[in-house]
Chains A and B, each alone.
Chain A
Amino acid sequence: MSKFTTFANDVLDLSVPNGSSGTVTVGSTTYTLPFKVELTTTVSTAGAAGTAFSGGSYAAQTLAGNCTTAAASASKSTTGTLTYSNMPAGTWADVFIKDSTATPKNVIFRGGSSLAKTVNAGDTCLISSGNLTATES
């Protein structure tokens, strides 16, 4: 079984939403917008998110306003640059998306090989426009 493209696009618009408020419900779980992108020092797996950076001016950056183009052909990419300035020192390994509830619920992750970017205090990390892409198959 495979998803029809129109449904796959809907799933992507749900997983990578542009909205800044409201909720979406998947099954019995309600997720709160905006969704945010965390940078992690370890690689995420399906069972556990990587360890998010902590310190400096690091904060997960919102997807709100950065995903203005709806999913198409079972793919959706960011339309704005996510900027993390004044980073703490660490190794940028991975990225995952979470919701905005008080205890955030994890949504999707990049995984795979580590980005392995050595980050010094004061550095900036960029996820440039169009470079965070989610796909469905």
Chain B
Amino acid sequence: MPETRIAVDNHACAVCSQLDNHPMIHTDIPDWVDLEGRSHQFPSFHFDCLPPELEYRLGNDDTHPQHYNTRQAIKAAREGTHGEDLRHYIQELADQFNDNAYGELNPHTFRLGGNDDPEQSVDDETRRRADELQRAYQSVRGNE
């Protein structure tokens, strides 16, 4: 049965100004200023439009599964996965690397120091499977 999705995005990307239904990253930054000096209240960004200074704040040490999944989505978007393909990719990441935090983390994919442990991290197997997923999506897109 085809999925019916109602386009409810009503926020233009603060970087590219496009108003569309691609997955977005929403922030609660009260006054983000773009390169042209324009101020944006609570800006939203496409995954591949997220400014470097905000991406930097996600860190790069794989210490948090939600950060990790978002970084993977950013990477996929920059390599050409958008729209529903990106949504499906994000969902598959979530399904495989369940980061419903605090008691529901998948012990097979995340190394845990204990419930609620902020030091939870992504192991090599998780990274390998995420890379496989991404390659699979790129392959599908390449055949479209």
Contact = CB atoms under 8 A, between A and B. Distances in A.
A128 B29 contact: yes
Q: Is the interface of B mostly helix, strand, loop or mixed?
A: loop
Contacts of A85: 66, 69-70, 73, 90, 93-94, 99
A128 to B, nearest CB: 5
Contact of A117 (B11, B21, B93, B98): B11
A11 interface: no
Interface string A94-124: 0100001000000000000001111111111
A12 B29 CA distance: 21
Contacts of A83: 58, 64, 66-67, 70
A64 B54 contact: no
Interface stretch (A23-31, A41-49, A53-61, A69-77): A53-61
Contact of A124 (B10, B25, B118): B25
Interface string B61-86: 00010110110010000000000001
B132 interface: no
A84 B53 CA distance: 18
B56 to A, nearest CB: 9
B59 to A, nearest CB: 7
Nearest to A57: B94
B21 A84 contact: no
A128 B25 contact: no
A85 B44 CA distance: 14
Interface residues of A, number: 41
Contacts of A65: 118-119
A43 to B, nearest CB: 13
Contact of B24 (A62, A123, A128): A123
Contact of B10 (A61, A80, A118, A131): A118
Contact of A92 (B26, B59, B99): B26
Nearest to A56: B94
Contacts of B54: 126, 128
Given A34-B118, A85-B94, A123-B24, 12 more contacts: A20-B117, A57-B69, A57-B99, A59-B102, A62-B116, A64-B118, A115-B28, A117-B44, A118-B8, A123-B23, A124-B26, A131-B28
Interface of A: 20-21, 34, 36, 56-62, 64-66, 80-81, 83-86, 89, 92, 95, 100, 115-129, 131-132
